[in-house]
Amino acid sequence: MTRYDVPINELILKTAEELEKMSDITPPIWADFVKTGVHKERPPVQKNWWYIRAAAILQTLQAKGPIGVSKLRTKYGGKKNRGAAPEKFCRASGNIIRKILQQLEKAGLADKAEKGTHKGRIITQKGAKLLGKAAEDLMKEKKITIPKKSTEELPVEFPIRKKKKKKAKKKKAKKRTRKKAAKKKTKKKKAAKTEEKKPEAAAEAPKEESK
Chain segment 36-74, per-residue pLDDT in tens: 999 999 999 999 999 999 999 999 999 998 999 999 999
For the segment 167-189, the average pLDDT, to the nearest whole number, is: 80
Residue 195 lies in a domain: yes
Same domain, 12 and 46: yes
Domain containing 167: what range? 161-211
The contacts of residue 84 (CB under 8 Å, 6+ apart) are none
Looking at the domain assignment, is residue 154 inside a domain? no
| Same domain, yes or no: 113 and 18 | yes
How many structural domains does the chain have?
A: 2
- Best-predicted range by mean pLDDT (89-93, 159-163, 168-172): 89-93
Shared domain for 202 and 165, answered yes or no, is yes
199 vs 130, higher pLDDT? 130
Tell me the C-alpha distance between 48 and 27, whole Å.
Answer: 9
| Distance of alpha carbon 20 from alpha carbon 117, whole angstroms | 34
Which pLDDT score, from 0 to 100, does residue 210 have?
47
Average pLDDT over every residue of 75-103: 95
Task: State residue 140's pLDDT score.
Answer: 86
CA distance 91 to 83: 19
Largest CA distance in the chain: 135
Phi then psi for residue 70, to 5 deg, are -60, -45
For residues 30 and 62, state if they share a domain. yes
pTM: 0.67
What pLDDT does residue 183 have? 82
Mean residue pLDDT of the chain comes to 84
Same-domain status, 138 and 167: no
The model's confidence at residue 182, banded by pLDDT at 50, 70 and 90, is: confident
Are 80 and 133 in a shared domain? yes
Residue by residue, DSSP assigns 18-34 as: HHHT-SS----GGGGT-
Q: Are 12 and 107 contained in the same domain?
A: yes
151: in domain: no
- The set of long-range contacts for 186-189, using a CB threshold of 8 Å and a minimum separation of 24, is none
By C-alpha distance, which of 176, 195, 175, 177 is closest to 187? 195
Same domain? For 171 and 101 the reply is no
> pLDDT for 10-27, tens place per residue?
999 999 999 999 999 999
Under the banding of pLDDT at 50, 70 and 90, the label for residue 211 is very low
Residues 137 and 199 in one domain: no
